[in-house]
Amino acid sequence: MFEVVRIDALRSRANGPVAQAEGSALHDFAFVDPAFVTVGCRFSVAEGPVRLTADGAVDFWSASVYSRRGDNVYSINDRSAVAGQFDLLVGTPEQLVDAQAASTDPGETVIPVEVDIDEGYLTLRALVDEESERPSVDAFMRSVTCATADPAAG
């Protein structure tokens, strides 16, 4: 399984001209939108396709798959996904054909994402449109998995 990390605003703890004072409204990133929670995952398809999933649903999410060089190779949001579920299978054309042949669940929500890269990364952002929804958005983001797919699971 690949590590899924939460992406928050970075603050420099060092002293010097780039360090921001504690409590400063300035961050090391030019803009971090507090209305979104963001997670990321680096992956490799060298050992097989990668399954990216999350449990449950939130009001809005968007995901992008990037090459190691930062080229956006795929984007999707909950409005385009099957039943609003975050469930992607990222792999080479050959890997996806093999996964489809092994699939036995006609009602699955997985969306195949064909890539011509060996390594890449995913960013997933979820909207917190009301502060009272933050716990459910945080739970959704904590449920994100990023792992080499089980060939039998398709």
113-154, pLDDT tens digit by residue?
A: 999 999 999 999 999 999 999 999 999 999 999 999 976 544
Please report how many Cα atoms fall inside a 13 Å half-sphere around the Cα of residue 103, on the Cβ side. Answer: 17
Residue 27 has pLDDT above 50, yes or no: no
Residue 17 has pLDDT above 60, yes or no: no
